[in-house]
Structure 1
Amino acid sequence: MSQLINIIICILLPPLAVFLKFGLGKDFIINLVLSCFFWVPGIIHALWVSTK
């Protein structure tokens, strides 16, 4: 159930999902930039980082 909620957060708010998983770090900054410029790459990055 937790994995499903994490995937939903990845789709709706990718930076939040990365922040909840890893905190403020390089993954969060990368995801924030990707989400600001292009939403879909931010979602893909969040899914990849959260599920690995």
Structure 2
Amino acid sequence: MDCSALCIIIITLFFPPVGVFLISGCGADLLINICLTILGYFPGHIHAFYLEYVYYHRKNLGAQGTVFSKPATGVYSDRIQTGGHRGTAYGTM
């Protein structure tokens, strides 16, 4: 685990939408996380940590040259779907 992942996890412990914003930017995933955090602090955490898991998992797979065959369930940000890699979304090159 690198330093950026650790910092984002610590930030997410205190305020989940900020952690989501740092990995996905401003979009549907952030809006969903804000709503879940308002409804209850625990659902916001679950959603944020799921998005962070998908992002860093796909980031590691992309670094190894793996092509993603299908999108992760419940993730609407292309940045998270590709792990921050450009041009590798949904199995395309």
1:15 to 17, 22, 29: 17
CA distances 1:12-43 after superposition (whole Å, capped 9, x unpaired): 11001111111111100000000011000101
Q: CA deviation at 1:10?
A: 1.3
| TM-score of the aligned structures, taking structure 2 as reference length | 0.53
- Please, which runs of 5 or more residues in structure 1 have no aligned partner? none
Counterpart check, 1:50 vs 2:52: yes
Q: CA deviation at 1:9?
A: 1.1
C-alpha root-mean-square deviation of aligned residues, in Å? Answer: 0.8
- For residues 40 and 7 of structure 1, the distance between their equivalents in structure 2, rounded to whole angstroms, comes to 15
Identity across the alignment (%): 40
| TM-score of the aligned structures, taking structure 1 as reference length | 0.90
Task: Provide the residue aligned with 1:38 in structure 2.
Answer: 40
Question: How many equivalent pairs are there?
Answer: 52
Q: CA deviation at 1:2?
A: 1.6
Paired amino acid for 1:32: I
Q: CA deviation at 1:11?
A: 1.2
Task: Provide the residue aligned with 1:2 in structure 2.
Answer: 4
- For residues 40 and 12 of structure 2, the distance between their equivalents in structure 1, rounded to whole angstroms, comes to 14
Q: CA deviation at 1:51?
A: 1.8
